Copies of this chain bind each other. A is one copy, B any other.
Amino acid sequence: MYQYQYLFDFTRNVFMKMGCSKEDANIIADVFLAAEIRNHASHGMIRIKEYYELWKAGRINTIPDVKIVYETPGTAVVDGDNAVGMIAASRSMKLAIEKARNAGTGWVATRNSNHFGIAGYYSMMALKHDMIGICLTNANPLVAPTFSVTRMIGTNPIAVAVPALRQPPFVADFATTPIARGKLAVAEKKGENVPFGFVQDKTGKPSDNPAILKSGGSMLTLGGDRLHGSHKGYCLSAIVDIFSSLFSGANFGPFVPPSVAYLPVLQEKVGEGTGHFFGAMRIDAFQPADEFKAKMDQWIETFRSAKPADDQERVLIPGDPEREAESRIMKEGINLVPAVKDDLVAIAGDLNINFV
């Protein structure tokens, strides 16, 4: 088990060795560790290697000039200058919050960025300002639109954070596919099949093979098949893609650059890098903040009091599982699987820093 601070310092040091300023490296480490303690290890320390490889391949900029290229009082377009995604994203969300402070709501579209970790992190930045936070991003094309076999679109997550008064905040952060890609890799390693409804083969036939992406298969959108509403999942991931890329001038759909160095950058591009979209909405642009937040307490208490199904203990509010993981993991420490530890030891060796 690792202590939070040890992994935080290590991550910060890795990114500083890669050229990041201390301030930027702090933000990056904060996002990586937030993923770990919120029990989304798929977006945590396991990904440091991917960022490191991208940097070695010269495909990511650790000293970016992130800048506003267009703005109105309530909106802006930000160019990330090919930054590590966390840097472009956190500056963009800060800008959305500033704009909301003055204009009531703030909306920032970001292009020329990269993978940014967990979307929920940025939506939650709005909470302490009594604002609702929203974060969308497009991602590597792995998912086929309904009726299709072409990998056209990403797992494109949606994150929305809403503050409450005495209750903890409502934090929804979810991919627009039934599962994250990482779960396929886990099943494959264990030699297990996955349930139908996650992936299809290259002809569009349902598959339970977690390795099917390697032979022309694709992931399915939320809903799984047309009968169960996959076209609604397709609508959702399409909306996320359009907001993330077309407002900002980033690549859309199949043109989103891969977030791993072992996949080549496409020759053809239709925009700059990966795209994100951020929103901040002042609650008191609609209702007195305290009244809204007290009502949100009531909303949360009402839903928490729903009767559980016979085989369930309790009903959850979005954000509950992550918050509970956070208290547990901060106490117990962070577990790294041996393969991840080995990767980090190797990176530490390369960069002449310490990791045990």
User: Are A295's CB and B270's CB within 8 A?
Assistant: yes
A305 CB to nearest chain B CB (Å): 8
User: Are A203's CB and B310's CB within 8 A?
Assistant: yes
Contacts of A333 in B (CB 8 A): none
A21 to B48, CA, bound (A): 64
User: Are B310's CB and A205's CB within 8 A?
Assistant: yes
Contact flag A306-B222 (CB < 8 Å), given A103-B74, A104-B75: no
- With an 8 Å Cβ cutoff, the count of chain A residues facing the other chain is 85
Contact with B along A12-29 (1 / 0, CB 8 A): 000000000000000000
User: Are B238's CB and A303's CB within 8 A?
Assistant: yes
A79 to B174, CA, bound (A): 33
Contact flag A147-B308 (CB < 8 Å), given A104-B75, A235-B318, A246-B296: yes
A174 to B247, CA, bound (A): 23
A158 CB to nearest chain B CB (Å): 8
A310 CB to nearest chain B CB (Å): 4
A247 CB to nearest chain B CB (Å): 4
- A172 at interface, CB cutoff 8 A: yes
A150 CB to nearest chain B CB (Å): 4
A228 to B199, CA, bound (A): 11
Contact with B along A281-319 (1 / 0, CB 8 A): 101011100001001101100110011111110111010
Contacts of A346 in B (CB 8 A): none
Within 8 A of B (CB), among A130-165: 144-150, 152, 158, 160, 162
A292 CB to nearest chain B CB (Å): 6
Contact with B along A202-234 (1 / 0, CB 8 A): 011100000000000000001110011101111
* Stretch from A87-95, A184-192, A249-257, A259-267 forming part of the interface with B: A249-257
